[in-house]
Structure 1
Amino acid sequence: MHFLSPAYLVLLVFVVALLAAYLVLQLRRQTFVARFSNVELLGSVAPRRPGWRRHLTFALMLIGLLVLSVGVAKPSAAVRVPREKATVMLAIDVSRSMEATDVLPTRLAAAQSAGKEFVKLLPARINLGLLSFARNANVLVPPTVERDPVTKAIDGLQLANYTAIGEAIFSALDAISTFSRTTTAQGSTPPPARIVLLSDGTNTVGRTVGEAIAAAKKAGVKVSTIAFGTQNGTVVSNGQTVGVPADENTLHEIAVQTGGTFNTAHTEIELRSVYANIGSQIGYTTTQQDISWRFLFTGLLFLFAAGGSAMLWAGRLV
């Protein structure tokens, strides 16, 4: 817990001092009582008091003061709230290896289905763009708050040869940069950006992954990667069955070096879960929210309870 006005916590010292004074008075009272050797005489000169009730009344009052002292220091708690703005580029691998059926019905079909779920779960104010990559990287939809164009583009993904992971990251960075320049007021800070890249293969063409990592780090854009598919995936190429295991090492390196997150998904259900986690990270942020009203309200309740108990058992407040 954090405090927005921690200086007021000094009031706790007075609460502790009040407790100490009360304990001293109780000890002095017991010492005074012990001087009377005649119990009958004590009963005639010292009126009977509702001991535990008196202590309960004081305890309620003390708790109330304690909670109120904390309340005026304005305690705050971490609360997840939707981001006002952010830019996300979703990059989906459409290389021939995505035709593998180790994820039913195919890797690509499962990725399309889960991708559309990802589109739905992002908060409305998040700008989302889409690109596909194989031999080249193609920006199909630049960042926008409109979801229909992205969904339609996902439905229209087509397979092609090769896998250009490095080019995908460069194209995503270019799309983010262009969007930020055209939508951010001069002198203002552009909204945070993230690349979410799904692939099942190794970079085989275009600029290297190392170059792409350096570019992403320079731009301050994190790349979250998803290695999709199993190690047993195969496709038929020129009449021969070829293994197409997901390249987890490369995608892990991209995520670690850029500060993003790395995930693996072997089924469509797992992929949906990964997208949900990434969407939660991107679409929401944690902020400190003032919760002092809770303490002030609770403290007043304890003070009212103390006053009520005093009226009930003693017929007076003091």
Structure 2
Amino acid sequence: MVFLWPSLLWLLCLAPLLVLLYVWLLRRRKQAAVAYSHLALVREALDASRPWRRHVPPLLLWLALVALLLAAARPMAVITLPSRDQTVILAMDVSGSMRATDVQPDRITAAQEAAKAFIAELPRHVKVGIVAFAGSAQLAQLPTQNHEDLVKAIDSFQLQRGTATGNGIMLSLATLFPDAGIDIAALGGRQSMRPRSMDEVLQQDAAKGFKPVEPGSYTSAAIIMLTDGQRTTGVDPLEAAKWAADRGVRVYTVGVGTLQGETIGFEGWSMRVRLDEETLKAIAVRTQAEYFHAATAADLRKVYETLSTRLTVEKRETEVSGLFALAGALLVLMAGGLSLWWFGRVA
């Protein structure tokens, strides 16, 4: 905890002085009671069962003073609050391997249903965008608060060949940062899948005066990438993850399917699909996010429930002087109330 006006903390030196003053007053009161011994006996008889009561109201007043002095110094603390202006990009794998049925009824259907449930649980102020990637990446839905449009975009997925996980990340970043110079049309093409090298991208950033920020420090947006296979084409996902990390964007990765993989057939060809956990974990680590494995539809729903909770709150350094002032006021009221209840006076 830090204080905006730390110089006022010197006033806390008054607190021990008040304790000494209270002890002195008690001794003086005891000496004065000797001259009126008959009154002292009456008071002792009344307070004999609960002698501690006489000290509770002064103690509460002392604590109230400490709280109010701390409030005057304007304390700042990191607390968890509802996020503001949050944008979430769902980058979803629509490659042919999502036909596999090791996740019931199949991977793509389970992913679609979990994504729709995730969107339904989000607060309305959170914008969601959808990127679909296979051999190329396409922006299926611009970030919006309209849940109906998002559901339509998810239901319209068409499975394709190839898995360009890096392109999915890059297109998600291009959606979050439209002025960053990423050629969305080129990324969506099927020819080279990599119109420029990452070195060229970084050189362009340097020419614009861009300075990398702390990974995970951009709290206004996040990317959730769901995939079930290995990258077969396009931008290296680890290079794309570095590009995201330099802008502070967290990329949460979700691996769908069994670790041993499965052989599937489609339009006369067959392939074995295996989850590339190593790369997905590396992407999450590089961007200060997390990796989740979903081997079943139930696992996938739980992953999205967890992400929904984490993405709708954020930790911010906030002034909490009001909380200390409130605590001080409540302590004053408690001290006065107990004094009236026990002794019939405020003293």
TM-score range, shorter chain: 0.7 to 0.9
Amino acid at match of 2:314: T
2:62 to 65, 70, 73: 65
Per the alignment, residue 149 of structure 1 pairs with: 149
Q: Confirm or deny that 1:49 pairs with 2:38.
A: no
Shift of 1:28: 7.3
CA distance in 2 between partners of 1:168 and 1:258 (Å): 15
Q: Compared with structure 1, are the counterparts of its residues 247 and 159 closer, same or farther at alpha carbon in structure 2 (3 Å cutoff)?
A: same
CA–CA separation in structure 1 for the residues paired with 2:8 and 2:154: 56
Decide which moves more: 206-215 or 154-163.
206-215
C-alpha contact 2:219 2:249 (8 A) present in aligned 1: no
Question: Which residue number in structure 2 is paired with residue 276 of structure 1?
Answer: 305
Contact 2:8–2:69 (8 Å) recurs in 1: yes
Letter in 1 for 2:152: K
Name the SS of the counterpart of 1:125 in structure 2.
coil
Structure 1 residues 149-207: Cα deviation after superposition (integer angstroms, max 9, x where no partner)? 211111121221111101111111112222899xxxxxxxx982221100111111112
Q: Does 1:248 align with 2:277?
A: yes
Tell me how far apart the structure 1 counterparts of residues 242 and 221 of structure 2 sit (CA, whole Å).
16
Secondary structure of the 1:19 match is helix
After superposition, where does 1:251-262 map in structure 2 within 5 Å?
Answer: 251-262=280-291
Equivalent residue letter for 2:301: R
Aligned-partner residue type, residue 197 of structure 1: M
The Cα of 1:106 is off from its aligned counterpart by 0.4
Q: Please state if 1:210 is matched with 2:238.
A: yes
CA shift in 2, pair 1:64/1:32, >3 Å: closer
* Matched letter for residue 150 of structure 2: V
In the alignment, what sits opposite 2:185?
A: none
Distance 2:82 2:30 in 1: 60
Alignment deviations for residues 238-281 of structure 1 (CA, whole Å, 9 cap, x no partner): 77875433211110011111222211111222212222222222
SS at match of 2:233: coil
Between the aligned residues of both structures, percent identity stands at 32
In the alignment, the residues of structure 1 paired with residue 103 and residue 296 of structure 2 have an alpha-carbon distance, to the nearest angstrom, of 6
Check the 8 A contact 2:238/2:279 in 1, yes or no: no
**Cα 1:159/1:299, change in 2 over 3 Å:** same
TM-score by length of 1: 0.80
Bigger radius of gyration, 1 or 2?
1
Q: For residue 143 of structure 1, report the CA deviation from its aligned partner.
A: 1.5
TM-score by length of 2: 0.74
Match of 2:323 in 1: 291
> 1:302 offset after TM fit, Å?
2.6
Structure 2: tracts of 5 or more residues without a match = 182-217
Aligned to 2:23: 23
Partner of 2:293, secondary structure, is strand
